[in-house]
Structure 1
Amino acid sequence: MLSAKSEEFLQKVLSYVKFSFDHRAIKDELENHLIDRMQDYEEQGYAEEEAEQMAVRAMGDAQEIGRELNREHNPIIGWLWRTSHFLVVLLIITNLYFVGLPIANAVGDTLMKINPAAGIPKSNIVYNLPVHQKVKLDNTVINFTNLVLEKNGDLNIFYRYYDTSLWGGGWSLGNIGIITDNLGNRYYNGSGSGGGGLVSTCRRTINHFAPNADTLIISYDYFNRQYRVEIPLKKVKENEY
């Protein structure tokens, strides 16, 4: 739990954001960023209180951050978004009632922030495996959060990434690396998607994943930046696939 000092910092940032409907989402995102930075400092050996103070200082000036966020969360654009969002939901309800057509993609991005597998029908999921693997490339921290295996053989890799310098010269993460398994299979086919913000939430889908693989391996080695992540997988029964 964050201290009163950190809460004061967050409230000061929010005081500059005029569109109050976005306050909760902004605060959640800033809290996640702050907590992740605290954990980084604690892993370096700093005590919890000192790590929190360092994390707050590293976030930067609350006024500068608040004004930048206020530009991004313009009230006019915000109201237009809320109105269009309401119309989209109304359209979905209308189609479901009169036609019965699924239009899940229209709300997929919103639901993805709550549940990574929200856009995948439960009946198609073999397993949803929580993952807690974090790596760092320069100032960019990548946090792998979930693996979702579907009955059609697609394996979805969900992850978040952010720039620890916050307003520094971070780079966009367009590739998480080479994906293999413990059986020696290398996966090329698939797709990817992601969202913006201080913390980007992304999804990488690979096709025809081997059901008998025990470990997923992600290896990154580009421009002298390297990491390797090995994620143990759940055992899959024949009747589950």
Structure 2
Amino acid sequence: MADLRRGGERGPAVRRGLQSGVSEMERQEFCDRVLAKVRHATPEEKAAIRAELNAHMEDHVAALLEAGYEEADTEKRTLAAMGDPEEIGAELNRDYPLGWLVLSRVSLILTILICATFLFSWPMLGNTLDSLQARIFPETSSFASRAKYTYERDLDIRAEIGDDILRIYKVGLDVNRDGETGNVGLFFCNYNKNPFGYTANGLNLEYGTSATTESERRYDDGGGGNAGASYSLAAKIPVTRADGAVVVTYDHYGEYVRLEVPVPWEDVT
């Protein structure tokens, strides 16, 4: 009979819409005996083998009918031409070794694991991208564009605070009508030292100038971000011409950090 092994191609079928001389019961019994010997094929592969066997029998019946045989005689001749089902199954079984079944199962499991990993790591991937943005170009974040000052200057002041990096990336200045006083805005973000790590949501910083009172030393005029990076704006910090810098301090949990952020008075015209 024609090659039924994996990769074998059946010749063009000569089909006619006639009822097969091989009864459905006999055909399925023949296929069952073949498949009983193919022990390591997957259910999908066994279904494909069954379909191929049925197609061969249909083709043979059609060929006998066209050759002039009586329909009743095609049954015996078709089954005889197919050969011994156990021998066919044993031959096919050699093409479906146990290793092939194991490989197909392992491939399926790996595919599922890869899809699951991608699905569950997608939020972490988003956090990592936000962390990288804070490290490289925080000024392009959506939060950075929410506030505008008359005079702005890009900065890159960084300090370690716990597992995070504090980055002050922009300072803004609005000058009052007297020309001697004004308000400063500090744009800053923080991100974990590990690009795949999670960052703290706010760092409880204090901001001081000669014009600030004790009650004005803490500001929280807005923030945003997610677990990958956190953005904040310390707005309306009062300053005078005597303030060349805003002092930013962190003093919590036994850790102390002090930074000086220059005020861009020299940009004022």
TM-score interval (norm. to shorter): 0.3 to 0.5
Give me the TM-score of the superposition, normalised by structure 1.
Answer: 0.47
- Which protein has the larger Cα radius of gyration, Structure 1 or Structure 2? 2
Give me the TM-score of the superposition, normalised by structure 2.
Answer: 0.42
